[in-house]
């Protein structure tokens, strides 16, 4: 724009786009215009190298847990941190080395959303060991 001495960006938009698509990107290790159906798997593997990484879950299906209570910024430190109600792990899932859990109450009714390990406090291995 300085070279042509005008401020009409619409006139140079095609040149900028072509230049951007022809420049190699550090994330995919090639220019975007070089990506096609035949090399899309290698580009995906370059972008997401840890997608198949497995982690060992710390909790198992059937474990009895308490949920972390949300605190506001000005809540006292001595306020309760964990729920009084007990929950059960219903499902364990993972992707790219990250494990998350689906929980429900002891009757099996699911709690909305997913929970990570740091949001759960293990109480017992199963319901039977809780009774003893």
pLDDT in tens, 73-100: 888 888 899 999 999 999 999 998 999 9
Q: Residue 4 above 70 pLDDT?
A: no
**Which residues have C-beta within 8 Å of that of residue 8, sequence separation ≥ 6?**
1
- Cα distance between residue 119 and residue 98, in whole Å: 14
User: Residue 92: which H helix or E strand, with range?
Assistant: strand 87-95
**Which residues have C-beta within 8 Å of that of residue 11, sequence separation ≥ 6?**
4
pLDDT in tens, 35-77: 999 999 999 999 998 888 899 999 999 999 999 999 888 888 8
Residue pair 105/84 in contact (Cβ under 8 Å)? The answer is no
pTM listed for this prediction: 0.70
| pLDDT score, position 77 | 85
| pLDDT score, position 94 | 94
**Which residues have C-beta within 8 Å of that of residue 106, sequence separation ≥ 6?**
64, 86, 87, 88, 127
Q: Which residue from 88, 125, 95 is spatially nearest to 110, judged by alpha carbons? A: 88
87 vs 4: which has the higher pLDDT: 87
126 vs 36: which has the higher pLDDT: 36
Helix, strand, coil percentages in the chain from 3-state DSSP, rounded to 5: 25, 25, 50
């Amino acid at each position: 724009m300085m070279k042509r001495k005008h401020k009409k960006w619409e006139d140079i938009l095609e040149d900028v786009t072509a230049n951007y698509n022809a420049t190699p990107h550090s994330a995919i290790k090639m220019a975007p215009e070089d990506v096609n159906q035949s090399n899309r798997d290698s580009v995906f593997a370059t972008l997401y190298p840890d997608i198949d990484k497995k982690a060992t879950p710390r909790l198992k299906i059937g474990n009895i847990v308490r949920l972390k209570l949300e605190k506001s910024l000005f809540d006292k430190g001595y306020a309760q941190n964990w729920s009084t109600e007990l929950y059960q792990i219903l499902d364990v899932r993972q992707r790219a080395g990250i494990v998350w859990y689906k929980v429900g109450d002891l009757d099996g009714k699911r709690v909305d959303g997913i929970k990570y390990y740091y949001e759960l406090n293990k109480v017992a291995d199963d319901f039977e060991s809780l009774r003893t």
